[in-house]
Structure 1
Amino acid sequence: MAGPHHHAYVWLGSGDVLVKPGDAHRRPDHPEFRSAQVMPLACADWLLKPAGRIEVTFEEPKEAADWYVAQLGHYAGLFVGSYPPEASYEEIVRALSVGEDRVGGWWVSGGRFLSLNLIACSPHRERPERGCPLRWPRGGDP
Structure 2
Amino acid sequence: MTGPHHHAYVWLGSGDVLVKPGDAHRRPGHPEFRSAQVMPLECADWLLKPAARIEATFDEPKEAADWYAAQLDHYAGVFVGSYPPNPSYDETVRALSAGEDRVGGWWVSGGRFLSLNLIACSSHRVRRDLVCPLR
- The CA deviation string for residues 51-77 of structure 1, in whole angstroms up to 9 with x for no partner, is 000000000000000000000011011
Query: d(CA) in 1 for partners of 2:12 and 2:133?
Result: 21
Q: Which residue of 2 aligns with 1:4?
A: 4
What TM-score do the two structures reach when normalised by structure 1?
0.92
Aligned: 1:103 with 2:110: no
Query: d(CA) in 1 for partners of 2:29 and 2:56?
Result: 26
Secondary structure, aligned partner of 2:104: strand
Q: Which residue of 2 aligns with 1:114?
A: 114
Q: Which residue of 1 aligns with 2:45?
A: 45
Query: d(CA) in 2 for partners of 1:9 and 1:71?
Result: 11
Secondary structure, aligned partner of 1:133: coil
Query: d(CA) in 1 for partners of 2:111 and 2:85?
Result: 22
Secondary structure, aligned partner of 2:41: coil
Query: d(CA) in 1 for partners of 2:19 and 2:33?
Result: 15
Q: In the superposition, relative to structure 1, how do residues 63 and 41 fare at CA in structure 2: closer, same or farther (>3 Å)? A: same
Task: Give me the identity figure in percent.
Answer: 85
Query: d(CA) in 2 for partners of 1:87 and 1:11?
Result: 18
Secondary structure, aligned partner of 1:114: strand
Q: Which residue of 2 aligns with 1:125?
A: 125
Aligned length: 135
Q: CA deviation at 1:37?
A: 0.5
Query: d(CA) in 2 for partners of 1:81 and 1:38?
Result: 24
Structure 2: 5+ residue runs without aligned partners? none
Structure 1: 5+ residue runs without aligned partners? 136-142
Q: CA deviation at 1:20?
A: 2.5
Structure 1 residues 5-84: aligned runs within 5 Å: 5-83=5-83
Secondary structure, aligned partner of 2:91: helix
Secondary structure, aligned partner of 1:9: strand
Q: CA deviation at 1:82?
A: 4.2
Query: d(CA) in 1 for partners of 2:25 and 2:53?
Result: 16
- The CA deviation string for residues 10-43 of structure 1, in whole angstroms up to 9 with x for no partner, is 0000000001211000000001100000000001
Runs of 4+ in structure 1 off by over 6 angstroms are none
Superposed CA RMSD: 1.1
Query: d(CA) in 2 for partners of 1:102 and 1:15?
Result: 21
